[in-house]
Amino acid sequence: MVIVIASLLSGFVDRTGLPQVAVFLALGAIIGPFGLQLVDVRLNSPILRVVATLSLVLVLFTDAVSLNLSELRSHKKLGVLVLGPGTVVSAAFIGALAGWLLKLPVIPAMLVGAALASTDPVLLRGILRRPNLSAAVKQALRIESGLNDVVLLPIVLVGIALSKEGGLARSDWGRLALDMVVLSPAAGVVVALAAIGTLEVVRRQIGIRRDYESIYSLGIAFGSYAAAEAVHGSGFIAAFVAGLTVNALDVELCDCFLEYGETTAEMALLFAFVLLGVSIIWSGLGVASLALLGFALLAFAARVAAFLPALAVARISAKDRWFIAWFGPRGLSTLLLILLPVFAGVKGSESLLAICCFVVLCSVVIHGFAPMAGTLRKRELKGEAPSRTEKIQAGVQEIAPPKTAPATEKQGEYIEFAELQSLGEDAVLVDARSLRSYADSQELARGAVRIDPDHPASDAQRKYLPRNKVLAIFCA
CB 81 within 8 A of CB 313: yes
**Quick check: 374 pLDDT over 60?**
no
Helix, strand, or coil (residue 472): strand
Claim to verify: residue 52 and residue 142 sit in the same structural domain: yes
Please name the helix (run of DSSP H) or strand (run of DSSP E) that holds residue 442, with its range, or none.
none
**Length of the chain, in residues:** 476
Rounded CA-CA distance 258/76 in Å is 23
Residue 106 pLDDT more than 60? Answer: yes
Q: Are both 349 and 425 inside the same structural domain? A: no
Q: What is the pLDDT of residues 21-50, one digit of tens each?
A: 888 888 888 888 888 888 888 888 888 889
Give yes or no for a contact between 238 and 247, defined as CB atoms under 8 angstroms apart: no
Q: Mean pLDDT throughout 228-240?
A: 90
Dihedral sign, Cα of residue 2, residue 49, residue 178, residue 232: negative
Closest CA to 352 of 41, 183, 157, 103: 103
CB-CB contact of 436 with 430 (8 Å): no
pLDDT at 299: 93
pLDDT (mean) for 351-378: 77
Q: What is the pLDDT of residue 393?
A: 41
* Residue finishing a domain among 356, 382, 408: 382
Report the domain count for the chain: 2
Q: Which of these three, 382, 414, 448, is where a domain ends? A: 382
CA dist 244 → 57, 66, 82, 206, 215 (Å): 13, 8, 19, 27, 18
3-state secondary structure of 430: strand
Higher pLDDT, 390 or 10: 10
Rg (CA), the chain: 24
Of 228, 109, 130, 108, residue with least CA distance to 179: 228
CATH number at residue 202: 1.20.1530.20
Q: Which residues pair with 473 in a beta bridge?
A: 430
2-6, 22-26, 34-38, 411-415: least confidently modelled range: 411-415
**Is residue 306 located within the same domain as residue 448?**
no
352 with 400, same domain: the answer is no
My answer on whether 188 and 204 are in the same domain is yes
Q: Do 64 and 151 share a domain, yes or no?
A: yes
Give the chain's mean pLDDT. Answer: 80
pLDDT of residue 414: 63
Q: Which pLDDT score, from 0 to 100, does residue 185 have? A: 92
Q: How confident is the model at residue 320 (pLDDT cuts 50, 70, 90)?
A: confident
The helix-helix angle for 135-162 and 332-343 (nearest 10°) equals 10
Q: 470-474 and 427-431: which strand pairing? A: parallel
Instruction: Please check whether residue 147 is in contact with residue 83, taking contact to mean a CB–CB distance below 8 angstroms.
Output: yes
Which one of 352, 382, 412 terminates a domain? 382
Higher per-residue pLDDT: 445 or 194 = 194
For residues 394 and 373, state if they share a domain: no
Do 328 and 435 lie in a common domain? no
Rounded to whole angstroms, the Cα distance separating 332 from 119 reads 9
Least confident of 156-170, 231-245, 412-426: 412-426
Longest dimension (CA), the chain: 81
Q: Give the rounded percent of residues in the chain with a pLDDT score beyond 90.
A: 22
Helix orientation angle between 135-162 and 170-178, rounded to the nearest 10 degrees: 140
Q: Is the same domain home to 111 and 251?
A: yes
- Least confident piece of the model among 107-121, 141-155, 259-273, 315-329: 259-273
Say if CB 307 and CB 90 are below 8 A apart.
yes
Question: Sheet of 449-450: strands edge to edge?
Answer: 449-450, 427-431, 470-474
Bridge partners, 443 (sequence order):
397
The answer to whether 435 and 131 are in contact (CB under 8 A) is no
Q: What is the pLDDT of residue 68?
A: 74
Residues 171 and 296 in one domain: yes
Distance in angstroms (rounded) separating the CA atoms of residues 92 and 70: 30
Structure confidence at residue 421 (pLDDT): 61
pLDDT at site 194? 94
Residue 235 scores a pLDDT above 70: yes
- Whole-model pTM: value is 0.74
Please compute the mean of the pLDDT values over residues 349-375 and round it to a whole number: 81
Is a pLDDT exceeding 50 seen at residue 71?
A: yes
pLDDT tens digits, one per residue of 264-313 = 877 888 888 888 888 889 988 989 999 999 999 999 999 999 999 988 88
For residue 413, the model assigns a pLDDT of 58
Q: Whole-angstrom Cα distance, residue 397 to residue 407?
A: 23
Specify the pLDDT at position 224.
95
In terms of average pLDDT, the best of 204-213, 286-295, 407-416, 442-451 is 286-295
Characterise 412 by phi-psi region: left (phi > 0), alpha (psi -120 to 50), beta (else). left
Confidence band for 391, pLDDT divided at 50, 70 and 90: very low
Among 6-20, 249-263, 362-376, 393-407, which stretch is predicted with the lowest mean pLDDT? Answer: 393-407
Q: CB neighbours (10 Å) of residue 182?
A: 12
Q: In the predicted model, is pLDDT for residue 405 greater than 50? A: no
- Name the residue range of residue 102's domain: 2-382
Per-residue pLDDT, 41: 86
Question: In this predicted model, what pLDDT tens digit does every residue of 350-359 receive, in sequence order?
Answer: 999 999 999 9
Q: Considering only 66-70, 121-125, 236-240, 313-317, which range has the smallest mean pLDDT? A: 121-125
Q: Are 213 and 256 in contact (CB under 8 A)?
A: yes
Give the DSSP per-residue string, 245-266: HHHHHT----HHHHHHHHHHHH
d(C-alpha 362, C-alpha 284), whole Å: 10
> Percentage of the chain with pLDDT > 70?
81
For the residues 409-420, what does the mean pLDDT come to? 58
- Rounded CA-CA distance 136/143 in Å is 11
Same domain, 117 and 85: yes
Pair 411, 343 in one domain: no
